[in-house]
Amino acid sequence: MKSAFSRNFTTAAAILLLALTVLGASFQSQIKDFLTDASVSELQQDADVVTNLAESYCVEGNLHNRDFLLNLDVISQVTDTDIVLCDSSGYVVLCSDTQVGCTHRGLQLNREYLQKIIDNGGETVTGVIQGLYTDERHVVFKPIMNDAAVSGIVIISTPTTFANQILNRINNIFFTAALFVILISVLAVSLYARRESRPLRDMARAATAFGHGDLEARVKVEDDYSEEVEELALAFNNMASSLQKSEYKRQEFVANVSHELKTPMTTISGYVDGILDGTIPPERREHYLRIVSEETKRLSRLVRSMLDISQLQQEQGIPEEKKMHFDLEESVGQVLITFEKKINDKGIEVDVHMPEHPVYTFANRDYITQVIYNLIDNAVKFCPSGGTLGIRIREGGNKAYIAISNDGETIPPEELPLVFDRFHKLDKSRSQNRDGWGLGLYIVKTIVCSHGENISVSSKDGKTEFTFTMPLVN
């Protein structure tokens, strides 16, 4: 598996080599065409000069004139070209190579090609002229006119060697520059790829450390990070923080559940063992069996509460098909009746304020009944003997406000935001407070929030009040 550095480096190197190859081929083609066009253009100018000179001497009737031969030799040397003159039949009669005994004399151009030159008024080719030269040349053919008739052909040529030498030198310069560019680019791409892959390696190390239990592992976000890498690093850190909080909550939850289960299970085990081994006398067994029964029921309520929380969290909201229209006043009255004995035993005064007409809402009746039950149960537990339990229902806008209050010790302000946490107790050092906050208020908040509503708590001057909202459908 390739690393991000090797992938970036390979991609950049491939693009660079492809670009240089295309650029080099295009540059070489353009230079070659330019040199060819320049050489042919110069040859055409030279051919015009030689043709005009030959036509003037043809008028005098002698191409073997010494002056003409001297001029032909000078033009050949100055222009660095080879000049050959043919008669109207295509036979070579003069050559700039030597004025006497030219080896080309007597050679004849192809008749068809000669006619093509005459018809076109000239011809330009690049290649090998069979019978005249053995090397590749740029060649220009030009007819010599005399009284509107063709009296001869001027053939002026130059080897392509010179143009090839220039092209080779240019290629050498280009390849040298390209090699220098490649070296610089390789160095730059290497540094860039390493810099860009560094944050990915840091994130990989942080993820590995986090996976091995280091919940404090985070990615350090640098100012020189690209926007995408910075977003990825921040997303990773946010995810790690969220998972860390979830893990701490899970650990706390497991610890609290273990603590809550340990006390009743120890009690049950101790009393049962005492009955079995005869430590508890027969006349006291019924008393302790009742205690075991109560502890068993408390364990059952705890497990049921945990299952209810799990179900609510999985549903992520109460489905509409599980909701119904019902009267909140009726639900409060039914729950209040179930606490009649506890209220009377503690001599608690009940202060109820509700509208004289039904207050209808649209919600899950069983869940809302559980909310009311948990809040009243909580209020009765913490209300002192002879205290007051308050229940109020009022309407406001499209909401119904249900408030349940009790007299008792004021909750410290710093504790108020925590009362809805799982297993929260006002004094965590005193485990004997077995009626603590437990899961009741956590379930209450979970149910209310699952309906898209809110719940709040206030505590001052010895009075604590919980208020939650429900949709009003009167």
Q: Buried b / exposed e across 437-463, counting CB within 10 Å, b at 16+?
A: bbbbbbbbbbbbebbebebebebeeee
**pLDDT tens-digit series, residues 168-178:** 888 888 888 88
Amino acid at 167: L
**SS3 label, residue 337:** helix
d(C-alpha 323, C-alpha 306), whole Å: 22
**pLDDT tens-digit series, residues 374-397:** 899 889 989 999 999 999 999 988
**pLDDT tens-digit series, residues 47-100:** 888 888 888 776 545 566 677 777 778 888 888 888 888 887 878 877 776 555
Query: Where does CATH 3.30.450.20 sit in the chain?
Result: 4-164
d(C-alpha 48, C-alpha 43), whole Å: 9
Element (H, E) at 185: helix 161-211
C-beta atoms surrounding 267 within 10 Å: 18
Do 154 and 144 contact (CB within 8 A), yes or no?
yes
**pLDDT tens-digit series, residues 203-223:** 888 888 888 888 778 887 777
Which of 133, 148, 137 lies closest to 92 in space, CA to CA?
133
- Which are the contacts of 389, defined by CB distance < 8 A and separation ≥ 6? 343, 348, 349, 350, 351, 376, 379, 380, 383, 404, 405, 406
Percentage of residues in the chain having pLDDT higher than 70: 85
**pLDDT tens-digit series, residues 99-119:** 555 666 667 777 777 788 888
Phi-psi region of 340 (alpha: psi -120 to 50; beta: other; left: phi over 0): alpha
- Alpha-helical (H) ranges within 212-357 are 227-276, 282-315, 328-338, 340-346
- Give the domain 227-312 fold: Helix Hairpins (1.10.287)
Do 392 and 353 contact (CB within 8 A), yes or no?
yes
User: Looking at domain 318-471, which of 3.30.565.10, 3.40.30.10, 3.40.50.300, 2.40.30.170 is its CATH number?
Assistant: 3.30.565.10
- The CA–CA distances, whole Å, from 319 to 220, 450, 454 equal 43, 9, 18
**pLDDT tens-digit series, residues 258-293:** 766 776 788 788 888 888 888 888 888 888 888 888
**SS3 label, residue 432:** coil
Predicted pLDDT of residue 20 = 80
Do 444 and 374 contact (CB within 8 A), yes or no?
yes
Which tokens in the block code for residue 461? 């001057």
**SS3 label, residue 464:** strand
User: Looking at domain 4-164, which of 3.20.20.80, 3.30.450.20, 3.50.50.60, 3.40.50.720 is its CATH number?
Assistant: 3.30.450.20
Query: Where does CATH 3.30.565.10 sit in the chain?
Result: 318-471
Quote the DSSP letter at residue 113.
H
Query: Where does CATH 1.10.287.130 sit in the chain?
Result: 227-312
Do 58 and 152 contact (CB within 8 A), yes or no?
yes
**SS3 label, residue 318:** coil
Which tokens in the block code for residue 105? 């004399």
What pTM does this model have? 0.46
